[in-house]
Structure 1
Amino acid sequence: MDEMTATLLAIGLVFVLLATGVPVFASLALAGVAGVVMVEDLDFALNRLKAFSYTQTAVYLLTVIPLFILMGNFAQKAGVGQRLFSVARKWVGQLPGGLAIASVLTSAGFAATSGSSVATAATVGAVALPEMKQAGYDRRLSTGAVAAGGVLGVLIPPSVLLIFYAALTEVSAGAMLVAGVLPGLLSTLVFIVGIVVVSKKIMPGRHQTQPRYGWGERFTSLGDAWQVIVLFVVVLGGIYLGFVTPTEAGAIGAFAAFLMLLCSRQARANLGGNLKDSFRSSISTTVMILMTMLGAGIFSYFLTLVGAPQYIVEAVTTVDLPPLLIIGLLLLIYLPLGMFLDAFSMLVITLPILFPTVQSLGFDPLWFGILAVKMCEIGLITPPVGLNVYVTAGIDRDTPLVDVFRGAGWFMIMEAVTTLLIFFFPVIVTWLPANMLG
């Protein structure tokens, strides 16, 4: 069978399998094997793929994924989320939409200890949603703030998704993590400004005013945030200064979070259960990520075999359009994908095709990686399969799912603003990595 026909059939098979409910990793793997068989034969496919699972996953860099996930689980069980929300409420609670802003700041802080958006949304939502409900907050704003705040977990390091991107594209994992710092802070700032605007212009007077704390009490409360500060300095500070590799930083961070769990009074009451839950969650999440990588690797091998990336690169580079416009059009592909797929699946499906094009046009891979992750963030709160929205709705069962999506819609606009700023000002991404030591 000719290569073009085989490629179209294999891509069509992926979407058919996804539509019938087959897991993403299995859809990609089956379509990839079928494509190789169509182009070559079954013996060729079996010979090439017999050691594929080992070569794809036995990579030193990938050990950082379970370490970051374990660090986040330990931090969650140690009660980091509750302490952060208490600190944030004392600093910004008196502002318009102050508790919603506090939930976003808590999400940003917890994201510095966890690389998962779902874990961030679940942890912060369990603490912040009851507080906002008691204060009479509009349910759309409160649930939208929690769902959108959770997406910071995949951008602010240590981010598993940034490591995933680095592994797929073979860029520096350390530089990729550092590149997420300023965009993460910018996203947080845009969320804060957006919440103030929504609270004052769209729904003024709808929220109970919070007491104003004195400066002495505010600065004293910062002592409750010491766990986040320690983990952020140990992990990202070590990478930025060149003292440790990302994998070593993950190991140190996981051990530090384990010590915090041991020192937490509330966690020690059920230490065995907390450890068991942390390990089980870390294992299941890691296996999911590695299986997704494996399926994507098989499909990527087929695409490389038929020369699809090279064909697309040649076609794109000959188009009479500004290179920046081409990148913008490529990023728009993530919008429809985000309606149906999770962030990891979006990256594994698109990067084998898009990344060679980005390289051929001469753009910074770190810049494109952050933009791709930002588009994945939008997908996490986009209907009909916005994963963070469903997590938030599961916590606040009194709020209809449609209201949660409506609340998240405001934050989708804020995300678009942040993405455009990063798109037109790449220095936001590249400045910190360019000044790394070691």
Structure 2
Amino acid sequence: MQEMILLFSLMIFLFLAGVPIGFSLLTCSTIFLLITDMRPLIVVPQQVVGGIDSFPLLAIPLFILMGNLMGAAGLSGRLIALINMLVGHVRGSLGVATVVSCAMFGALTGSAPATVAAIGSIMIPAMLKQGYPPRMATGVTAASGALGNIIPPSIALILYGATMNVSIPKLFIANVAPGILLCIVFVITVLIQARRLGLGQATTGNDGVPDQRFQVVLRSLPALTMPVVILGGIYGGIFTPTEAAAIGVLFSFLLGICYRALSPRALWKVLEESVCTSALVGFILGAAGIFGWILAAARIPSMLANGLAPMLDSPELYLVILTVFLLIVGCIMDAGASIIILAPILVPIGLALGLDPIHLGVVFCVNLVVGFFTPPFGLNLFTAASVSGMPYSVVVRGVLPYVAAAILALLAIAFLPMLSLGLTKLM
């Protein structure tokens, strides 16, 4: 037990010291093996390779490449034009368009900061021009940018499924309703703020001009087709999530060629960014492989589950504690790393209390993603401040109503399991 306390203490120290997560996990695991003589050090490379030697995990670099290709193809402007045309007559329509655009674009790219940067660079200046307060313009963008990490296909869900050996297609379909719920509560928050502030309507420039409306729909149709092809193929049993990611890469590449947005220089930049991001994720997964092996060999998850289960006399109390803890973790730690490190420790406790593993996966991932825009360290907050040029304090004040709305949605997701499990019953 003393060695395990040393392991976690050293890991926390390295995290706080700014050491990259992969190196922290690898260092802690190696030191633990040296001081305990549990196994020879040859187990380190064996488990590192084993941590990434998984066919479902191959979907991660492919989805990263697909998202970067979609971003380079300039889809954000096309989606915004379509949504503005549909909701431009509503009070606070630019805010509503921001929420929906972030949800759709984020689902394609799978990156919350990239979504904030792409949508925010267009929508924040437009909202400021229409008289939106700076705090509202930046707050709604920072919060909505996280929606894409919840609405499938989501890298966080793939990581959870691979880590906890849970069906990834079922996780995808289970997260549809929670993603829509968060989108709805954000739209309601925008409408309430717009009415309170007396904001007007947006001018879409397409009212009464059927030809222009048709052109807007036609230009955005390929982007709208992508989720249908990917998710429809997965749920229809036509291909696996990994195969769907490969098809998405091909579709995105052809789309970029058709839009004439992928010059050789742009394509090289996309490939470079995708390789760097995928290598970082792969290194963390490999380091987490040996870390997870140590936890399993030392029987830490089962010891925690057996020790805490009598203290947590109800699943409801466990869900409350889990929600609060993951919200805090999510705003200071990357969602992927949090899943890899914490899920093998925390999820078995919930399973011992009789909770469904799919429901737990949804609660786990949604909580961590909400941390993207939870003050004071949410990554989306810094991205929104950078894109808008506004002080960080302005973004924090603007995002607070959306944090409150998200917490209400989180409680509903946690305590109404049919929100996540309802659609899975149909599979």
What's the TM-score, normalizing by structure 2? 0.94
Equivalent position of 1:413 in the other structure: 404
Q: Structure 1 residue 210 and structure 2 residue 210: aligned?
A: no
Equivalent position of 1:275 in the other structure: 267
SS across alignment from 1:22:
coil
- Alignment partners' CA distance in 1, 2:64 and 2:313: 42
SS across alignment from 2:373:
coil
1:131 to 118, 126, 132: 126
- 1:125-164 aligned at under 5 Å gives the runs 125-164=120-159
Deviation of 1:364 after TM superposition, in Å, equals 1.5
Change beyond 3 A, Cα 1:366–1:102? same
Q: Residues 374 and 415 of structure 1 are in contact (CA less than 8 Å); yes or no, is this contact kept in structure 2? A: no
Deviation of 1:214 after TM superposition, in Å, equals 4.9
The one-letter amino acid of 1:408's match is V
Deviation of 1:110 after TM superposition, in Å, equals 0.9
Q: Structure 1 residue 21 and structure 2 residue 18: aligned?
A: yes
Deviation of 1:10 after TM superposition, in Å, equals 0.8
The one-letter amino acid of 1:384's match is P
Q: Structure 1 residue 429 and structure 2 residue 426: aligned?
A: no
Deviation of 1:368 after TM superposition, in Å, equals 1.2
Equivalent position of 1:40 in the other structure: 37
Q: Structure 1 residue 110 and structure 2 residue 105: aligned?
A: yes
Deviation of 1:256 after TM superposition, in Å, equals 0.7
Q: Residues 161 and 168 of structure 2 are in contact (CA less than 8 Å); yes or no, is this contact kept in structure 1? A: yes
Which range moved further: 146-155 or 376-385? 376-385
Equivalent position of 1:245 in the other structure: 240
- Alignment partners' CA distance in 1, 2:217 and 2:28: 52
The one-letter amino acid of 1:321's match is D
- Alignment partners' CA distance in 1, 2:217 and 2:78: 10
1:226 to 215, 221, 226: 221
- 1:251-266 aligned at under 5 Å gives the runs 251-265=246-260
Equivalent position of 1:177 in the other structure: 172
Deviation of 1:318 after TM superposition, in Å, equals 2.1
Q: Residues 313 and 360 of structure 1 are in contact (CA less than 8 Å); yes or no, is this contact kept in structure 2? A: yes
SS across alignment from 1:363:
coil
2:392 to 383, 394, 401: 401
- Alignment partners' CA distance in 1, 2:344 and 2:156: 16
Change beyond 3 A, Cα 1:283–1:401? same
- Alignment partners' CA distance in 2, 1:6 and 1:305: 13
The one-letter amino acid of 2:422's match is W
- Alignment partners' CA distance in 2, 1:433 and 1:286: 30
Equivalent position of 1:198 in the other structure: 193
**What are the Cα deviations for residues 225-282 of structure 1, in whole angstroms up to 9, with x where unaligned?**
21222111110000111111111111111111111000003x15xx112211211111
**What are the Cα deviations for residues 204-228 of structure 1, in whole angstroms up to 9, with x where unaligned?**
22x4532373595667643332122
Equivalent position of 2:95 in the other structure: 100
- Alignment partners' CA distance in 1, 2:51 and 2:400: 38
Deviation of 1:45 after TM superposition, in Å, equals 4.0
- Alignment partners' CA distance in 2, 1:229 and 1:18: 40
Equivalent position of 1:55 in the other structure: 50
The one-letter amino acid of 1:15's match is I
**What are the Cα deviations for residues 281-318 of structure 1, in whole angstroms up to 9, with x where unaligned?**
11111112111222222222222222211111111222
**What are the Cα deviations for residues 380-400 of structure 1, in whole angstroms up to 9, with x where unaligned?**
112332111111111111x11
* Structure 1 unaligned residues grouped into runs of 5+: none
1:352 to 341, 344, 367: 344
Q: Residues 112 and 228 of structure 1 are in contact (CA less than 8 Å); yes or no, is this contact kept in structure 2? A: no
SS across alignment from 1:333:
helix
SS across alignment from 1:233:
helix
- Alignment partners' CA distance in 1, 2:216 and 2:379: 33
- Alignment partners' CA distance in 1, 2:366 and 2:100: 18
What's the TM-score, normalizing by structure 1? 0.92
1:368 to 342, 360, 365: 360
**What are the Cα deviations for residues 127-179 of structure 1, in whole angstroms up to 9, with x where unaligned?**
21121122121111111111111101211111111111111111111211222
Change beyond 3 A, Cα 1:214–1:376? farther
Change beyond 3 A, Cα 1:131–1:38? same
* Structure 2 unaligned residues grouped into runs of 5+: none
Equivalent position of 2:2 in the other structure: 5
Change beyond 3 A, Cα 1:249–1:261? same
Change beyond 3 A, Cα 1:171–1:131? same
Deviation of 1:92 after TM superposition, in Å, equals 1.8
Q: Structure 1 residue 81 and structure 2 residue 72: aligned?
A: no
Q: Structure 1 residue 67 and structure 2 residue 59: aligned?
A: no
- Alignment partners' CA distance in 2, 1:312 and 1:388: 33
Aligned CA RMSD, in angstroms, stands at 1.8
The one-letter amino acid of 1:198's match is Q
Q: Residues 80 and 227 of structure 1 are in contact (CA less than 8 Å); yes or no, is this contact kept in structure 2? A: no
For this pair of structures, how many residues does the alignment match? Answer: 424
Which range moved further: 347-356 or 249-258? 347-356
**What are the Cα deviations for residues 356-387 of structure 1, in whole angstroms up to 9, with x where unaligned?**
11222221212111111121122111233211
1:381 to 373, 389, 410: 373
Equivalent position of 2:313 in the other structure: 321
- Alignment partners' CA distance in 1, 2:292 and 2:372: 24
SS across alignment from 2:89:
coil
Change beyond 3 A, Cα 1:224–1:418? farther
